[in-house]
């Protein structure tokens, strides 16, 4: 039971969750301090749109890409800027590879940036933009919540009653401030134990003996995943990723609250991938190496899964790669194709643009994935 279930649960928090929490908090702080400067500079220099879009998209998480969606709906940025961000973003899956192997994460994010940059400029050069199509030249009212910078209103438009219900449930079962405090209170000692163990700086057996026979890595890891499950369940699995509101936090305290929530979301889905893969390999003897033989089919499957909005499925898919379940070209195709949570507000604001954008990003996804098959 320990190796089949408890160890994967502990690994999800100790190998991914604690690092995700720290990095989400860091990038949230950067968005809180400098987010307005980036978007203001973008709207004043439209020709740099795809470049800045790719930069915002390639930043870990979904927040960088999300802030562009209301700007596009107000015609402040080009469609190529949106496509560049969507192609470059790996959503919350990026936290998984960053926690697993930072050097590998740097390489794949550099590739995503290049693909997003080129795709965005190609889209603008070809003049592709559903809003500018002839059948859309008739005057139409501006979507609600876009008359001014009111991200909370836009968020309400995207989430509707479900958003309000989720907030009420979260407030009733697990108040945000105590939940955040409890999460960070556990993450701090877990991080202190994880770093020396994960980076093989200390023998885990030494720590176990020092704690009277209790394995602190296993205990903190399982407890951390359980706390993440509670936070995840309190939010009914929603609002765990970036939204129009959390992409533009109003305070660092809000950033910390969101960091705990998002890290919990990622931890839960990574735990699902880890436990599921461990049970599957143990019961069937399948080690995942056979999937490398799927070749082009695997690339097309990865790109196709990327069409699914949101981050949950993509996190599980990336977790399978980390566990050795899928080959690199398949992961890359999925990383380019997926749009994370950024597609959700875009679909609420400009549904035809969202549909076209997510289809466009699958083209370079399949092409780059196929190219990797030939090179590797």
What total number of domains does the chain contain?
A: 1
Q: Evaluate if residue 300 carries a pLDDT over 80.
A: yes
Question: Which stretches of the chain are DSSP H helices?
Answer: 7-11, 18-44, 49-58, 63-66, 68-73, 79-88, 93-100, 102-125, 151-173, 176-198, 204-210, 216-234, 252-284, 296-305, 312-322, 328-337, 343-349, 351-375
Q: Among all chains, which residue has been given the structure tokens 């890290």?
A: 263
* Residue 150 placed within a domain: no
Residue range of the domain that includes 207: 2-128+162-375
Task: Specify if 21 maps to a domain.
Answer: yes
Predicted confidence at residue 170, as pLDDT, reads 39
| 63 in any annotated domain | yes
The answer for residues whose C-beta is within 8 angstroms of residue 106's C-beta and 6 or more apart is none
Separation of CA 145 from chain center: 25
In a domain? residue 226: yes
pLDDT at position 149 is 40
Q: Does residue 370 lie in a domain region?
A: yes
| Burial class of 194 by CB neighbour count within 10 A (0 to 12, 13 to 18, 19+) | buried
| H/E segment holding residue 146 | none
pLDDT at site 77: 86
Query: Structure pTM?
Result: 0.66
Q: Taking each helix axis from N to C terminus, what angle separates 216-234 and 151-173, rounded to the nearest 10 degrees?
A: 120
Q: Decide if 219 contacts 295 (C-beta within 8 A).
A: no
| Contact of 273 with 100, CB cutoff 8 Å | no
Residue 234 lies in a domain: yes
- Closest by CA to 342, choosing from 73, 29, 16, is 73
322 in Cβ contact with 94 (< 8 Å): no
Sign for the CA dihedral angle at 23, 29, 30, 35 comes to positive
- pLDDT tens digits along 264-291: 887 888 788 788 878 877 887 765 554 5
The predicted structure's pLDDT at residue 74? 77
Residue 156 covered by a domain: no
Q: How far is CA 102 from CA 98, 109, 294, in A?
A: 5, 10, 27
359 part of a folded domain: yes
Residues 31-63: pLDDT tens digits?
Answer: 677 755 655 666 667 788 899 899 888 988 777
């Amino acid at each position: 039971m320990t190796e089949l279930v408890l160890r994967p649960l502990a690994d999800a928090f100790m190998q991914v969750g604690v690092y995700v929490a720290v990095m989400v908090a860091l990038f949230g702080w950067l968005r809180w301090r400098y987010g307005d400067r980036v978007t203001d500079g973008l709207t004043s220099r439209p020709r740099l749109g795809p470049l800045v879009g790719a930069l915002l998209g390639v930043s870990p998480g979904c927040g960088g890409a999300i802030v562009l969606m209301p700007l596009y709906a107000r015609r402040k940025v080009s469609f190529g800027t949106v496509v560049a961000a969507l192609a470059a973003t790996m959503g919350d899956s990026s936290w998984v590879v960053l926690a697993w192997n930072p050097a590998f994460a740097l390489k794949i994010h550099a590739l995503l940036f290049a693909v997003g940059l080129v795709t965005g400029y190609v889209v603008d050069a070809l003049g592709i933009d559903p809003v500018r199509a002839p059948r859309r030249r008739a005057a139409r009212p501006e979507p609600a919540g876009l008359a001014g910078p009111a991200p909370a209103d836009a968020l309400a438009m995207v989430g509707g009653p479900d958003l309000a219900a989720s907030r009420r449930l979260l407030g009733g079962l697990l108040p945000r401030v105590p939940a955040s405090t409890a999460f960070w209170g556990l993450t701090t000692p877990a991080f202190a134990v994880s770093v020396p163990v994960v980076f093989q700086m200390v023998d885990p057996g030494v720590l176990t003996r020092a704690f009277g026979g209790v394995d602190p890595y296993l205990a903190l890891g399982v407890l951390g995943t359980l706390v993440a499950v509670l936070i995840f369940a309190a939010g009914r699995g929603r609002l765990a990723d970036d939204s129009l509101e959390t992409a533009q936090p109003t305070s660092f305290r809000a950033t910390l609250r969101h960091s705990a929530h998002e890290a919990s979301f990622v931890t839960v889905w990574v735990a699902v991938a880890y436990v599921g893969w461990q049970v599957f390999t143990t019961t069937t003897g399948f080690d995942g190496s056979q999937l490398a033989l799927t070749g082009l089919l695997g690339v097309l499957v990865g790109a196709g899964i990327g069409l699914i909005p949101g981050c949950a499925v993509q996190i599980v898919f990336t977790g399978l790669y980390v566990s050795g379940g899928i080959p690199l070209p398949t992961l890359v195709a999925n990383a380019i194709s997926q749009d994370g949570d950024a597609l959700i507000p875009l679909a609420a604001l400009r549904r035809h643009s969202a549909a076209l954008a997510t289809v466009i990003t699958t083209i370079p996804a399949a092409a780059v994935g196929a190219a990797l098959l030939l090179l590797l």
